[in-house]
Amino acid sequence: MRTYARKAGKSYDPPFIERFGRACVKSDQVLQRILYYDCAPYTGKAKRPVSGTEHQFRGSDAWLHDLERREYFAVRRGVLKFRDWVPKTSPVGSTPLTDADFKPSFAQKGVDMRIGLDMANYAQTRAVNILSLVTNDTDCVPAMKYARRAGLQITLVRLSNCQPAPELCAHTDFLFSVQFP
């Protein structure tokens, strides 16, 4: 969602996320909770690829704390892992490389698992009848299948400037289009 919001010229911050989350609820539905899955920015040290000097990554998770204090919100945190430095362009030129030719590569860990566990929990406890899902990640398909087999209905929220993956559409009951607020 972050990428598509920025492409649409929106500021991706807690007020935007809250407005968007509330826009995903149809007028005839009752909002029970908005679960937001993300990672705090990476904080740590890594050696630069060419010079070998140490680079300190600093990030603030204050925006996640802001979000989790909002009504109806629960923030589920994964972990952002530093993977390596990757070339900014490909192919890499033949001139002597510098640290400026590389950018950090990160991987989000644990978010898909948390989504799947929450969906399975809601399916098991029957705490809700409908789950609305904002994703284009096909890793969610097994959890969607499980929830549907348990009798829950799945609404896939379609962003205004994004075509959902066909695999996701095949395992949802409804598509609900939402314009960025």
Specify the fold of 1-32+110-181: Rossmann fold (3.40.50)
In the chain, residues under CATH classification 3.40.50 are 1-32+110-181
In the chain, the percentage of residues whose pLDDT exceeds 70 is: 99
Q: Which of 31-35, 119-123, 177-181 has the lowest mean pLDDT?
A: 177-181
Mean pLDDT computed over 139-163? 92
Q: What residue type is 59 in one-letter code? A: G
- Which helix (H) or strand (E) is 119 found in, with range? helix 111-125
Q: What is the pLDDT of residue 154?
A: 96
Alpha carbons 178 and 181: distance in angstroms, whole number: 8
Contact 114, 38 (CB under 8 A): no
45: its two tokens: 């040290």
pTM to 2 decimal places: 0.88
Contact 153, 174 (CB under 8 A): yes
**Average pLDDT for the chain:** 93
Residue 162 has pLDDT above 90, yes or no: no
Alpha carbons 168 and 58: distance in angstroms, whole number: 35
Most confident among 2-16, 68-82, 94-108 (mean pLDDT): 68-82
Q: What angle, 0 to 180 degrees and rounded to 10, lies between the N-to-C axes of helices 111-125 and 141-149?
A: 0
More confident residue, 121 or 159: 121
Q: Which pLDDT band, with edges at 50, 70 and 90, does 6 fall under?
A: confident
Candidates 10, 16, 122, 126; CA nearest to 67 is: 16
Q: What is the pLDDT of residue 76?
A: 96
Q: What is the pLDDT of residue 92?
A: 78
CA angle 180, 107, 166 (to 5 degrees): 50
Mean pLDDT computed over 142-168? 92
